[in-house]
């Protein structure tokens, strides 16, 4: 079904970047449409517990609550929300076309792409097979299922530290597996992990296979030493993969130029993409900072860039 109206602006995605863009465009009177994603509006913060570094919340705020508040704020200023996935786009010409998973077609003068990123996979035997039966990409979603069971967390960044610390509340043990002997994570998070008596570090090691059976799901992981190639197995009913994220930009095809890592290429310090009237904000266009607050800031800039474009193209 094709909508007859031509929107001024459609925002694809509902993380901090998307909602911030919606708040700014809403306050400017453009009544933006936000296509939030079909499954989990709110983006990655929906799967987070306490957010301690978003300015304005000195006592921290729960990720889902922060996103609910952003959504309410966007609606208050006239944003319309639709829960659907955009599956293909046509950015040629002044009026852009977006097609969604539910078969709808939308037309708009400007687009802000704010689709974020998705968890990276290990790509080892057993990962796919035991996904949802031991292998997880979200500690806060699935940690509870591994009460008093051995848990492995993979990764050396802030996410892995946060997840290992969180999961130590549930598991009988937590082994943090990292491929180097130095962490990428911030010192405060590393210190917290090192001081946690339930967490054991397996440095210079990668998970090379995940074993299990039909009845129990995952039961153990095979670790390969990255220095001497030796192999050992350790028990693991929960395997939490926290090795970063890839931008969700596949649905754009070649409608905009991308960088080698799949992020959308923007023009200098602006949010302008290679397609006229199309702007990008947040993790799908940022492989460096990737914070809720930096995504929100970029969402603000995208809204201002889109406004300038709308004003100039009507002049
Ligand atoms: P990240 O910083 O990119 O770290 C990914 C980690 O996974 C790295 O240690 C990397 O190892 C490892 N890795 C990548 N591919 C791997 C593979 N195939 N096999 C094994 N290990 C692999 O990702 P992140 O931890 O998700 O953090 C993303 C951003 O969010 C960061 O900017 C972070 O600061 C932020 N964040 C902040 C908080 C907070 O402040 N509360 C919490 C979570 C995340 P190498 O180090 O060897 O490359």
Which tens digits make up the pLDDT trace of 223-278?
Answer: 999 999 999 999 999 999 999 989 999 999 999 999 999 999 999 999 999 999 99
How many whole angstroms from 12 Cα to the centroid of ligand 1?
Answer: 25
Q: What is the pTM of this model?
A: 0.79
Cβ(180) – ligand 1 distance below 6 Å: yes
Nearest to 196 by CA among 171, 221, 215: 171
Cβ(244) – ligand 1 distance below 6 Å: yes
Query: Please, how many CA atoms are within 13 Å of residue 107, restricted to the half-sphere of its CB?
Result: 10
- Name which residue sits closest to atom 11 of ligand 1, judged by CA: 156
- pLDDT, residue 315, reads 63
Q: Which residue among the candidates 68, 85, 138, 300 is catalytic per the annotation?
A: 138
How many whole angstroms from 155 Cα to the centroid of ligand 1?
Answer: 6
Q: What tokens appear for 172 in the block?
A: 């009988």
Residue 2: is its pLDDT beyond 80?
no
Q: Which residue among the candidates 8, 84, 142, 165 is catalytic per the annotation?
A: 142
312 exposed, middle or buried (CB, 10 Å; 0-12, 13-18, 19+)?
Answer: exposed
Q: Write phi, then psi, for 102 (nearest 5 degrees).
A: -85, 5
Q: What is the pLDDT of residues 265-294, one digit of tens each?
A: 999 999 999 999 999 999 999 988 889 999
Q: What tokens appear for 200 in the block?
A: 């054991």
Across 188-209, average pLDDT: 98
Across 116-136, average pLDDT: 94
Measured between alpha carbons, how far is 96 from 101 in angstroms, rounded to an integer?
A: 17
Cβ(159) – ligand 1 distance below 6 Å: yes
Across 97-112, average pLDDT: 98
User: Would residue 228 show up in a list of annotated catalytic residues for this protein?
Assistant: no
Between 25-29, 49-53, 204-208, the lowest mean confidence (pLDDT) is in 49-53
Query: Please, how many CA atoms are within 13 Å of residue 36, restricted to the half-sphere of its CB?
Result: 22
Measured between alpha carbons, how far is 254 from 260 in angstroms, rounded to an integer?
A: 13
Cβ(156) – ligand 1 distance below 6 Å: yes
How many whole angstroms from 176 Cα to the centroid of ligand 1?
Answer: 13
- pLDDT, residue 138, reads 87
10 Å Cβ neighbour count for 92? Answer: 11
User: Would residue 141 show up in a list of annotated catalytic residues for this protein?
Assistant: yes
- pLDDT, residue 181, reads 97
CB 188 within 8 A of CB 215: no
- Name which residue sits closest to atom 15 of ligand 1, judged by CA: 243
SS3 annotation, the chain: CEEEEEEEEEEECCCHHHHHHHHHHHHCCCCCEEECCCCCCCHHHHHCCEECCCCCCCCCEEHHHHHHHHHHHHHHCCCEEECCCEEEEECCCCCEEEEECCCCEEEEEEEEECCCEEECCCCCCCCCCCECCCEECCHHHHHHHHCCCEEEEECCCHHHHHHHHHHCCCCCEEEEECCCCCCCCCHHHHHHHHCCCCEEEECCEEEEEEEEECCCEEEEEEEEECCCCCEEEEECCEEEECCCEEECCHHHCCCCCECCCCCECCCCCCCECCCCCEEECCHHHCCCCCCHHHHHHHHHHHHHHHHHHHHHHHC
Q: How big is the CA angle at 65 (ends 59 and 68), to the nearest 5 degrees?
A: 140
Cβ(206) – ligand 1 distance below 6 Å: yes
How many whole angstroms from 183 Cα to the centroid of ligand 1?
Answer: 9
Q: What tokens appear for 229 in the block?
A: 């190639």
- pLDDT, residue 111, reads 98
Confidence tier at 297 by pLDDT (50, 70, 90): very high
Cβ(290) – ligand 1 distance below 6 Å: yes
Confidence tier at 142 by pLDDT (50, 70, 90): confident
- Name which residue sits closest to atom 7 of ligand 1, judged by CA: 243
How many whole angstroms from 94 Cα to the centroid of ligand 1?
Answer: 39
User: Would residue 276 show up in a list of annotated catalytic residues for this protein?
Assistant: no
Q: Which residue among the candidates 92, 141, 191, 267 is catalytic per the annotation?
A: 141
First vs last Cα of the chain: how many Å apart?
32
Q: What is the pLDDT of residues 12-28, one digit of tens each?
A: 999 999 999 999 999 99
Residue 120: is its pLDDT beyond 90?
yes
Measured between alpha carbons, how far is 245 from 291 in angstroms, rounded to an integer?
A: 12
Q: What is the pLDDT of residues 52-91, one digit of tens each?
A: 889 999 999 999 999 999 999 999 999 999 999 999 999 9
CB 16 within 8 A of CB 282: yes
- Name which residue sits closest to atom 38 of ligand 1, judged by CA: 158
Q: Is the dihedral of CA 144, 145, 150, 155 positive or negative?
A: negative
Cβ(119) – ligand 1 distance below 6 Å: no
């Amino acid at each position: 079904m094709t909508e007859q109206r031509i929107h001024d602006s459609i925002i694809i995605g509902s993380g901090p970047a998307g909602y911030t863009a919606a708040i700014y465009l809403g306050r400017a009177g453009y009544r933006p449409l936000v296509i939030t994603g079909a499954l989990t509006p709110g983006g990655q913060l929906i799967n987070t517990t306490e957010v301690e570094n978003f300015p304005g919340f000195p006592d921290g705020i729960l990720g889902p609550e922060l996103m609910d508040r952003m959504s309410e704020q966007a609606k208050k200023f006239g944003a319309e929300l639709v829960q659907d996935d955009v599956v293909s786009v046509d950015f040629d010409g002044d009026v852009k076309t977006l097609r969604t998973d539910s078969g709808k077609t939308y037309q708009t003068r400007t687009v802000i792409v704010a689709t974020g990123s998705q968890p990276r996979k290990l790509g080892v035997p057993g990962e796919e097979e035991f996904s949802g039966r031991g292998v997880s990409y979200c500690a806060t979603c699935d940690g509870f299922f591994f009460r008093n069971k051995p848990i492995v967390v993979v990764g050396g960044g802030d996410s892995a530290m946060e997840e290992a610390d969180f999961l130590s509340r549930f598991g009988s043990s937590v082994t943090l597996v990292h491929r180097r002997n130095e962490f990428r994570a911030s010192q405060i998070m590393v210190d917290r992990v090192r001081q946690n008596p339930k967490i054991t570090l397996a440095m210079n090691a990668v998970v090379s296979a995940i074993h299990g059976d039909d009845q129990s799901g995952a039961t153990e992981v095979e670790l390969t030493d990255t220095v001497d190639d030796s192999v050992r197995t350790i028990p693991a009913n929960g395997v939490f993969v926290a090795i970063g994220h890839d931008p969700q930009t596949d649905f754009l095809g070649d409608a905009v130029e991308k960088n080698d890592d799949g992020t959308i290429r923007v023009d200098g310090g602006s949010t302008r993409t290679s397609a006229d009237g199309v702007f990008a904000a947040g993790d799908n266009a940022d492989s460096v900072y990737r914070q809720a607050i930096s995504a929100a800031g970029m969402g603000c800039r995208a809204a201002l860039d889109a406004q300038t474009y709308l004003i100039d193209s009507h002049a």
